[in-house]
Structure 1
């Protein structure tokens, strides 16, 4: 007996496609090689210089001193994210990429979730006060972001090893996830003020750019947001004192808060004569905001956030977003989000420019980002799906196509003996249950908006039956509704 499984492509979410090494397969297809020299050149490059080349370093305090320290010994660094949303978005990944680059070269990293600071709200980069969220929602966000950070850095090491084999010869640093509620929940305000208040200078707080903007905007600023820089500075101090964390990483809009932390640490050390001479310095690194070549910003406030939560931005949607990036964004995004050697990226860009219609750069970028965020194999699954739906069936065999679609986990099954008794209208009713009415579907069919098979044969008869001949290799039937809404029917035997 046979079964028919229907898969709707509108809300895809890939699982791991284990049998393929996504990016290397595509590079080989286009004649782009990855040599040992390519890999060695990246590892030999001083870390700060390398981050600049990738467009991941905007500002760095005391850069010459930090550059020397990076080459001499293992350092520790952190970056934080507040739980202002259920998920991080790809703009949040830039400082995390900096941590990952350091970690791969043996340095220790401390990703931080702002379970405490999230209750207050950071005014940086904002002209109005943040909307307060409920305790339960905030705690849920904390847990989601904690899991995302943990998964990102765990996968990141594997991701890097597949792009640059020489990373396997370098022992990565440790990864220790933190939540600042760990220290803030037991601090009483009077104790904090009596111990640290004299080291906090109000004139310097007022001079911060984020504060001046709010004061000059006419909207004013609440005391909670005004003191946010103190909270972040204290986070840096706690990690510095307890874990020897010397570097804080953040976006450009965090520069003032980072400098406040460095100043706070310096003041405390100057007050302790026994530590003043031997205390190592504290440093700050900022990354540029993620924008397109037209200057458009990514993020929640911009209203175009591409989330790394696959339920908010499914893996297939992430792939399509990257595929549709302009040619002007390809090189910048590859440098930032891929861990392929820089000289290999140069080869990709050169090949891309030779035939922009093939969108080689966008394809590799999309595969890279899907693998980075959702795991190895996500990218190639999405590429197969995209090529199948929009580029034809020539590059992959039927089993490969079915395997890619099967990994989406959105199959709907019914007995094959029913297929001969079902009209195309019946099948569409089953697919669009509670989404489109029978009348709507009839109009779509009558208007020629429904196509069947790999040749996209238009259907005008609602009573038409799907025949075995309509299946590619007897296994796969494709139905298209409108221009972009595709559904795959898999025919399997029992």
Structure 2
């Protein structure tokens, strides 16, 4: 990157590691220094929450507003009905309108923590839904007015499509239309709101270029595209995934403590990079903390976890998560903020003690079941492996492979489960 930007936004994107590519650095830079400009990122409603993999785009919108411009959050109420095929091996399951609306309601909860939609300032953020213009399209009019601008030869050459076809995997006509609809979004946002920039992950490059080309052809307007790198952790794992599944942003799907713990468990090599991307700390301080070694890097990870959790869930939630972690890890206690699972007896497949070689009338359940119910194991097989490796602990005592059962009377009070040293939960009989 040899271009030296004049605008605060592009300078920030480059300095903090957000920038993968841009259609015209100088043109966009000059547009941004001429006054407040709108830019958008689209989010399809394929689940009730976004996960950490989307956080880089949310932070880009936040920085866009902080540098004096207007972010537009576009909910894909229309495009979700089609499904983005970009770099996927198979077709997405089709969702009905009610499920899409429910997912959008869940996704919207996160954005107000990062972006200001309520101010009276010129750069007050907008939240829109592309169903507003996509749901009412007349198919024949759309083919004639918009479809004629698209070359199938060119669309087939985009890497997101080409890679699917090269693997001889089916690409439905429905999915093939997705890139036309996303391009049409950019056209409509430019026509209705003067939007000059679409941002997204680097996997969206082809879709973004299509939108720019369409808008130039139909409106003769100059607009731009900017992409962020598709992040993986230093050990090659896709950002947003953890040992126990997706790291959701909504608190009801991933508790603030679990979210905090995900960042606390960042590998040493990723600390500096993640501080620059996911916090607003000065770049020099991010570099300093990222360069720490040995036990000192652990305090940098705690700082990362606190800063990221505070942005999403608030400073109190971050402080509570840290206090719980110190109680659990340093003092061997339970802590107040561990995720708690209330167990229903009928989900535990209870067995009488005499069937297990025990005297008396006590009922027991398999320890493996508890670890699955508390999301500390993906399956019974996974839980049994954890037990056999002495990695499953109940109240800090390893579950015995000789008798991997727990009495129901023990579960009438909060019981701490641990999967290894880093993952913990509480369970209690309902």
| Short-chain TM bin | 0.7 to 0.9
* CA distance in structure 1 between the aligned counterparts of 2:23 and 2:394, rounded to whole angstroms: 60
Distance in 1 (alpha carbons) for counterparts of 2:88 and 2:46? 13
Q: 1:358 to 1:127 in 2, by over 3 A?
A: closer
* 1:233/1:302 CA distance change after superposition, 3 Å: farther
Normalised to the residue count of structure 2, the TM-score between the two structures is: 0.76
The Cα of 1:410 is off from its aligned counterpart by: 6.3
Partner in structure 2 of residue 129 of structure 1: 91
Cα separation, 1, equivalents of 2:118 and 2:260:
18
Q: Is the 8 A contact 1:120 1:224 kept in 2?
A: yes
Does residue 67 in structure 1 map to residue 17 in structure 2? no
- Partner Cα separation in structure 1 for residue 10 and residue 82 of structure 2: 33
1:90 aligns with 2:52: yes
Give the whole-Å Cα distance in 2 for the aligned partners of 1:303 and 1:229: 33
Q: Secondary structure at the match of 2:48?
A: coil
Quick check: 1:236 aligned with 2:186? yes
Distance 1:98 1:91, change over 3 A: same
Q: For this pair of structures, how many residues does the alignment match?
A: 375
- State the TM-score, normalized to the length of structure 1: 0.67
Contact 2:36 2:122 (C-alpha < 8 Å) held by counterparts? no
CA drift of 1:487 comes to 5.8
Q: 1:223 & 1:146 partners in 2: Cα distance? A: 30
Does residue 77 (structure 1) correspond to residue 27 (structure 2)? The answer is no
Aligned twin of 1:99: 61
If each structure's helix is expressed as a fraction of its own residues, which one has the higher value?
A: 1
- Counterpart for residue 213 of structure 2: 263
Question: In the alignment, does 2:151 pair up with 1:189?
Answer: no
Q: How much has 1:72 moved relative to structure 2?
A: 2.6
Distance 2:191 2:280 in 1: 32
Correspondence list, 1:264-343, <5 A: 264-270=214-220, 279=221, 281-299=222-240, 304-343=245-284
1:252 paired residue number: 202
For residues 302 and 175 of structure 1, do their structure 2 counterparts lie closer, same or farther at Cα, with a shift above 3 Å needed?
A: farther
Q: 1:109 aligns with which of 56, 71, 87?
A: 71
Q: SS where residue 377 of structure 1 aligns?
A: helix
Task: Name which structure has the greater RCO, CA cutoff 8 Å, separation 6+.
Answer: 1
Q: CA RMSD in A?
A: 3.8
Q: How far, CA to CA, are the matches of 2:55 and 2:248 in structure 1?
A: 10
Rounded to whole Å, the distance in 1 between the matches of 2:190 and 2:24 is 17
User: CA 1:109/1:451 → structure 2, altered by over 3 Å: closer, same or farther?
Assistant: closer
